[in-house]
Amino acid sequence: MMSPQPEAGQPKIIVHIDPDLEAIVPGFLANRRRDLVTIEACLKQSDLNTIRILGHRMKGDGGGYGFDQISSIGDDLEQAVMVQNGPLIEKQVALLKDFLSRVEVVYTR
């Protein structure tokens, strides 16, 4: 699977993460990229419940890994599904795709 590519000219999003998490952060980000593929497939199949569950999981897990932006997107995604707001769901998916394409992790204490 190819990683999402950043838009030309878009700056990297630098996220500072504790070096103690260095062994697990790449897997966390890889799982979010897999979630993105799943979410896009679920959108085509109108499987909003799976999208809601994934959003809820991102909301809960992101901050623990140092990715508050993923938690925020997950929360907004879950809320958008609960009110069945298609354009807002698609906006959150686009934000997640953009974040994952531009995020660069720097390990610092």
User: Is 47 inside any structural domain?
Assistant: yes
User: Is 11 inside any structural domain?
Assistant: no
CATH number, domain at 65?
1.20.120.160
User: Is 92 inside any structural domain?
Assistant: yes
User: Is 29 inside any structural domain?
Assistant: yes
User: Is 93 inside any structural domain?
Assistant: yes
What's this model's pTM, rounded to 2 decimal places? 0.90
- Asked if 17 and 65 touch (Cβ cutoff 8 Å), the reply is yes
Per-residue pLDDT tens, the chain, 109 aa: give them: 444 555 567 899 999 999 999 999 999 999 999 999 999 999 999 999 999 999 999 999 999 999 999 999 999 999 999 999 999 999 999 999 999 999 999 999 8
User: Is 70 inside any structural domain?
Assistant: yes
Domain coverage including residue 32: 22-107
- Asked if 44 and 84 touch (Cβ cutoff 8 Å), the reply is no
If you write DSSP's letter for every residue of 26-56 in order, what string do you get? Answer: HHHHHHHHHHHHHHHHHHHHT-HHHHHHHHH
User: Is 46 inside any structural domain?
Assistant: yes
* Number of domains present in the structure of the chain: 1
User: Is 41 inside any structural domain?
Assistant: yes
